A and B are shown apart, each in its own frame.
Chain A
Amino acid sequence: MTDYRQKYQMTPVIGWLLRDRGGMILLSILIAASILIPVGNLIVPEGSALHVPTWMMSLLGKYLCYALLALSVDLIWGFCGILSLGHGAFFALGGYAMGMYLMRQIGDRGVYGNPELPDFMVFLNWTELPWYWFGFDMFWFAIVMAMFVPGLLAFVFGFLAFRSRVTGVYLSIITQAMTYALLLAFFRNDMGFGGNNGLTDFKDLLGFSLQSDSTRASLFVASAVMLGICYILARCITNSRLGKVLIAIRDAESRVRFTGYRVEYYKLFVFTVSAVMAGIAGSLYVPQVGIINPGEFAPALSIEIVIWVAVGGRGTLYGAVLGAFIVNYAKTFFTGVMPEFWLFFLGGLFIAVTLLLPKGVIGAVPAFGSPDRQSVLAGLRKRISNGRANQGGKA
């Protein structure tokens, strides 16, 4: 016992990072990708087999943002049992903060040539910038807001919900109500966020044209680096004492409370951190896809994020990253190859993963998953019997 404690106190972060096999693989891939892909795109000549076309780089950059988003959901769902069906809201708010900066950067290059107001405001006959747009001409302010606004919303929402001990599906449904309400609110043209069309027609970021390959490459690298940093941060949280409490809350919330922990503060902390991560993901996402609109608030998207995590493997962090890549790649692939039938595959994938791979894809790889190295079929058999046995308690 003392041994372990000593180890924890003495081993720096690097120590347990090295022992986190999945994490090491993920970080190595991220480092490799952030070197090779920009090189492949910018330096390797077109026509070479190793050339990375721009569309693929921006696609992968987009996946990285989704992976970061999935990571943030896994942090709260996999480690604290908070199933948020509204995480898309934090993602979108981060995206809007970045989008507002990019809108201000357009300056007088908009179609109506107004140096101060974005096109849609000129169009709505607004004569001056609303107060909540002030400051967004500064990059640092936008970045701070991309983290602060989702964090604040999560803090207020979490404070109310966790204090009143709203848990389980009730929490899931009200997070969904939150993102739905925001969807409707941002959808209104009178809100001053561009209504249904959202913010678009971006020109440049920090003076660099968003359409140049080098800017894209930089954004890709930034996304990869940010995903790496957030991964390490999340791993720090889950490996710390606080992380242990979180896991305990996930497994038996009442017992933790009765032991004397203020469960709501732990939950509030991790929920807010997760929302900030989602906000960062959103702010990286927007310059790469070139548009942010209320569609990102759609409850369906938030449900999909949870599905990425489940497909990859809940409670592993790197599983969430893998899941985001698998599902989104499947989506890209099937919408192109069999546009008429891809929903069958995607739907089938979700059903199959739930039934056959209860621990997600990562759980099927024996090294990462169940220690007893059971085969997939054996796992299913066990699940059926478990399911029967488990039916004792009410869900």
Chain B
Amino acid sequence: MRIVMTAVLTAVRPRFVWRISVPGLIAVCAICAVIATTMPHPAHAFSDEELRNVTEKLNVKSATKKIKAIDAMAADGDPRVAPILNAMLEGNLFVRDSDEHVVIGAKKGKVWSHIDIVSGEIVGESSSKELSKIKVNNRLRGALRDALAALNLFSKDIVVRTAAVEQVMDARDPSMLPLLDRAIEREEDPTLLARMELAQATMALAAGETPKQRMAAIDVLASETTPQIRAVLSQFVASAEAEGYEPEVIAAAKGALKSVEGRLSMWQTLGDVYRGISLGSVLLLAAVGLAITFGVMGVINMAHGEMIMIGAYTTFVVQQVFASIFPSGSPWSLMIAVPAAFVVAGLVGIVIERCVIRFLYGRPLETLLATWGVSLVLQQAIRSLFGATNQQVMAPDFMSGALELSNGLVLTYNRLWIILFSLIVVGGIAIVLRYTAFGLQMRAVTQNRRMAGSVGIRTGYVDALTFGLGSGIAGIAGVALSQISNVSPNLGQTYIIDSFMVVVFGGVGNLWGTVLGAFSLGIVNKFLEPVAGAVLAKIFVLIALILFIQKRPKGLFALKGRAVEA
């Protein structure tokens, strides 16, 4: 009985046990005594009155006292506690100023409904002014999550249970072991059971008392590949050597550590490749529009970055409009923003082509001057319209968060989507250039304008559309970049130099060169970064680029033929 009591006591919030004062200890022990007999699934361990009383204890200023109250609430495993703790975690637990009662708040417009903590019914309404929030900070949030994890280990919902196990594993708290042991006994799902046993092993390694227990734990851990396991093992090796454990245990731990490290470094390399590809896809998106306006048409388009910026701002405007019309559908606004950005940036591009660039064909260096002027005007126009500060573009749910592979590799969803998106965009352009009538005309006009004109192609029209296409694609890139970067008037300036480097590196006028150029620059950069730091990596890449151009003065894929010389 005593063992169970201390087990439960320590299981709930063991890190703070030593801080619990004597009266508190007695109170908690009393609760434990009540519940110890009814564990592990007491329906209502608290009477309504007790629940209310124990919750009211949250209404204190000191974080330490709040944690004590949380532990007391969670200790009992009462299912009604979880919603209260959840509300507190999300900042929705309030003290009503009128009667000093703790209530859960639910916001509807400007009115807050008060939900009773025991019955779950609405017991009043007010503005936010009459409620004072029960403040949480990081420490409390940690305590709340651990407490909820302990409660949720026995949840009926497997998703909740899985999350709880991960939380317990992160907390790496040996004193949660008894609770975990009990959960393992009851668990039926084999995958989750394996995770639970892994969590058990991480804790057992430190808590294990016999060499056999330790060896068993090491065996389980050796087959895993995560940074956490590496940390657990290396800590164990250090402490084992200090405490003078059995040599075979130390040797086994060292062997396990070595194998974990070996596998991790392989994953680390893979991670660098992934990050390089991801950076490459961003560079590719930024550069691919330029590959058309600069690469195909020969316009040194310094306003290219501003087309990206216009795309990003279009995304912002589309989201704002969406949010005001159908608040529920806003995750889809990004889908609408892609064509919208294409059209807006494309139209701006066509206007620029008709008003400025068409007078300058054949003088690429003068296009540099005029488009630089255009870029200044566009930047200032956006600044005057939207203000100089950053605008907030929301990430839809499918682009938030990350795919966490168990070996410590984190693939963020937004970057996965951007990689995919960049490939789709490039594929789309390739199809347009290769298989459509417009693509054919475009290639004809850029290869031999007079000949194209004399067979009846309206060259001016094709020019305008080609520039529009390049700008429109830059606009699409803006939609993607709004997900990872600032949406500000300076957005374009950030990417313009990199874009030119990519196009020139790949070879002007060659789409595949741009693709290969973007990905190789990205990957090289990401492999250098851990070694040399972000700044030096970039310098090395630039120097390498300069030297590379000496070797291949026309880029990776040079155009052949007379057109090059002109």
Q: List residues of A whose CB falls within 8 A of some B CB.
A: 83, 157, 160-161, 163-170, 172-174, 176-178, 180-181, 184-185, 187-188, 254, 299-300, 303, 306-307, 310, 340-341, 343-344, 346-351, 353-355, 358, 380, 383-384, 387, 390-395
A349-B373 CB under 8 A given contacts A391-B459, A394-B298, A395-B364: yes
Out of A176, A343, A390, A393, name the residue touching B500 (CB < 8 Å).
A176
Contacts A299-B497, A391-B459; is A169 near B300 (CB within 8 Å)?
yes
Residue of A whose beta carbon sits closest to that of B361: A391
Flag whether B366 is at the interface (Cβ < 8 A).
yes
A-B CB contact pairs (8 Å), 13 listed: A160-B546, A164-B550, A166-B549, A170-B549, A170-B553, A170-B554, A188-B536, A307-B372, A354-B370, A355-B370, A384-B359, A395-B363, A395-B364
Query: Does B410 have its Cβ within 8 Å of any Cβ on chain A?
Result: no
B395 at the interface (CB under 8 A from A): no
CB of B377 to closest CB in A, whole Å = 4
Chain A's nearest CB lies how many Å from the CB of B268? Answer: 26
| Least CB distance, A349 to chain B, in whole angstroms | 7
Given the interface contacts A344-B380, A347-B377, does A394 sit within 8 Å of B446 by beta carbon? yes
Nearest opposing residue in chain A for B509, CB measure: A394
From A83, A176, A178, A181, B365 is in contact (CB under 8 Å) with A83
Whether B362 and A174, one on each chain, are in contact in the complex, defined by CB atoms closer than 8 angstroms, is no
The answer to whether A310 and B369 have CB atoms under 8 Å apart is yes
| Contact assessment for A383 and B384 in the assembled complex, using a CB-CB cutoff below 8 Å | no
**Residues of chain A lying within 8 A (CB to CB) of residue B501:** 173, 177
Contact status A307-B508, CB under 8 Å: no
Please give me the residue from chain B that is nearest to A356 by CB atom: B359
Pairwise interchain contact A341-B384, C-beta atoms closer than 8 A: yes
Chain A residues near B384 (CB-CB < 8 A): 340-341
Partner of A394, one of B359, B447, B504, B555: B447
The total of Cβ contacts below 8 Å across the A-B interface reads: 155
In the complex, the answer to whether A343 meets B504 with C-beta atoms within 8 Å is no
Q: A350-B376, A394-B566 are in contact. Are A161 and B356 (CB under 8 A)?
A: no
User: Which single residue of chain A is at the shortest CB-CB distance from B302?
Assistant: A303
Assess the B566–A173 pair: CB atoms within 8 A. no
Across the interface, which residues of A come within 8 angstroms of B377, CB to CB? 343-344, 347-348, 351
List the A side residues contacting B52 at CB < 8 Å. none
A351:B447 contact, CB within 8 angstroms: no
Tell which of B299, B368, B535, B546 touches A177, judged by Cβ atoms closer than 8 Å. B546
Instruction: Please measure, in the bound complex, the distance between the C-alpha atom of A351 and the C-alpha atom of B367, giving whole angstroms.
Output: 9
Most chain A C-beta atoms within 10 Å of own C-beta, residue among B508, B553, B566: B553
A350 to B368, CA, bound (A): 10
Task: Looking at the assembled complex, report how far the CB atom of B457 sits from the nearest CB atom of chain A, in whole angstroms.
Answer: 12
Q: Report Cα–Cα, A274/B285, bound state, in Å.
A: 37
- Asked if B539 CB lies within 8 Å of chain A CBs, one says yes
- B550 contacts across to A, CB distance below 8 A: 160-161, 163-164, 166
Interface contact B376-A354, CB-CB below 8 Å: no
How far does the alpha carbon of A341 sit from the alpha carbon of B379 in the complex, in Å?
11
Besides A160-B547, A174-B549, A340-B384, 15 more A-B contacts (Cβ < 8 Å) are A83-B365, A164-B551, A167-B553, A169-B294, A172-B300, A174-B546, A180-B542, A310-B366, A348-B377, A351-B356, A355-B356, A384-B359, A394-B449, A395-B297, A395-B566
Question: Is B358 in contact with chain A by the CB < 8 A criterion?
Answer: yes
Q: Which B positions have Cβ atoms within 8 angstroms of A? A: 294, 297-300, 302, 356, 358-366, 368-370, 372-377, 379-381, 384, 446-450, 459, 493, 497, 500-501, 504, 508, 535-536, 538-539, 542-543, 545-547, 549-551, 553-555, 563, 565-566
Assess A346 versus B450: contact at CB under 8 Å? Given A187-B535, A395-B362: no
B380 neighbours in A (Cβ, 8 Å): 341, 343-344, 347
CA distance A181 to B299 in the complex (A): 25
Asked whether, in the complex, the Cβ of A392 is within 8 Å of the Cβ of B359, the reply is no
Please state if A350 and B370 are interface contacts (CB–CB under 8 Å).
Answer: yes
B373 near A347 with CB under 8 A, answer: yes
Bound CA–CA A148/B320 (angstroms): 57
Say whether A351 contacts B566, CB under 8 Å. no
Residues from chain A with a CB closer than 8 A to the CB of B542 are 177-178, 180-181, 184
A176 to B356 Cα, complex, angstroms = 25
**Cβ–Cβ < 8 Å partners of A384 in chain B:** 359
Q: A299-B497, A395-B364 are in contact. Are A184 and B538 (CB under 8 A)?
A: yes
The docked-state distance in angstroms from the alpha carbon of A168 to that of B539 is 23
Of B381, B459, B539, chain A has the most CB atoms within 10 Å of the CB of: B539
Give the Cβ gap from B520 to chain A, nearest Cβ, in Å.
15
B370 to chain A, nearest CB (A): 4
Contacts of A184 in B (CB 8 A): 535, 538-539, 542
A391 and B553 contact, CB distance less than 8 A: no
Cα A391 to Cα B545 in complex, Å, equals: 31
> Which residues of the partner chain A approach B379 to less than 8 Å between Cβ atoms?
343
**The residue from B360, B448, B546 contacting A387, defined by CB atoms under 8 A apart:** B360
A281 to B365, CA, bound (A): 25
Please name the 7 residue pairs, one residue from A and one from B, whose CB atoms are nearest each other, closest first: A395-B298, A350-B373, A347-B376, A343-B380, A347-B377, A390-B362, A181-B542
Q: Pick the residue among B360, B372, B504 that contacts A303 (CB under 8 A).
A: B372
User: Contacts of B362 on A, CB cut-off 8 Å?
Assistant: 387, 390-391, 393, 395
- Taking CB as reference atom, which chain B residue is nearest A161? B550
How far is B501's CA from A310's CA once the two chains are assembled, in angstroms?
A: 24
CA distance A169 to B535 in the complex (A): 26
| Cβ of A154 to closest chain B Cβ, rounded Å | 13
Residue of A nearest to B298 (CB): A395
